[in-house]
A = this chain, B = another copy of it.
């Protein structure tokens, strides 16, 4: 392992609970974050895609982040999503993350206009980095072309690293394309690369990845962390097989609604199943069936005994 890494291991893009008034629910959020760290997460990435990050207002996000730090969660473990279509809003959120001492930020490119020029994308990040103007800023590029449509070609990654070597330190690759992840790992040794799914964790680690940032870490961090801890062991391929099978079983359902439904089920707290539009919550009876399938076929079960 490279000791200069700020982040490594298993990072959850934390799902965001909403209260009865539709606003983000701070208590449920903090409780879930604390539990994730107990369950095996080495870091937390609030306001990612799984977090419905772009569905949450800027003021709402800034309040949630502050509450996490106020709740004594180590800010060095936090990698909040601060990207935005607007460079102005990206700067506001990134500045707050720095003020709170966050270990890094996970930044989407501006994703409204399609097929932007590489120069335009470079300028976006250059403007954020220069405006924030703080050496403690560590930017992780968020490459998720299936959703954002706009992504990071290798040439752009190279240019950003060359220009800001102390700041642009890593990338989450949610392309779902191992060949792309491998190309980035090969091209940029030392870059903190996180595949966006634990399906690629073992192959990633064998090729220099730092870990993974994965939606399903919201409910399955323990087993992913076990694989991470034992990736050089004789049992690693078998562990990866189990982790992959569970991931594929979960992602057969609509990801965000099923994750929240699973948490609602095991916490016996139906409010947890709420999502913001354009998503719709998963009906309780469908969640029950999913929970049963995951339990019987994968021995999957959540336990909150430690902090309940």
A-to-B contact residues, CB < 8 Å = 22-23, 49, 54-60, 85-89, 92, 109-114, 116-117, 119-121, 123-124, 127, 146-150, 276-280
Contact = CB atoms under 8 A, between A and B. Distances in A.
B55 A114 contact: no
A278 B55 contact: no
A124 B58 contact: no
A220 B110 CA distance: 29
B55 A58 contact: no
Contacts of A58: 58, 86, 89
A86 B56 CA distance: 5
Nearest to A55: B86
Nearest to A146: B114
Contact of A120 (B85, B92, B277): B277
Contacts of A60: 86, 88
Interface centre among A86, A89, A149 (most CB of B within 10 A): A86
Contacts of A92: 57
A279 B54 contact: no
A124 B278 contact: yes
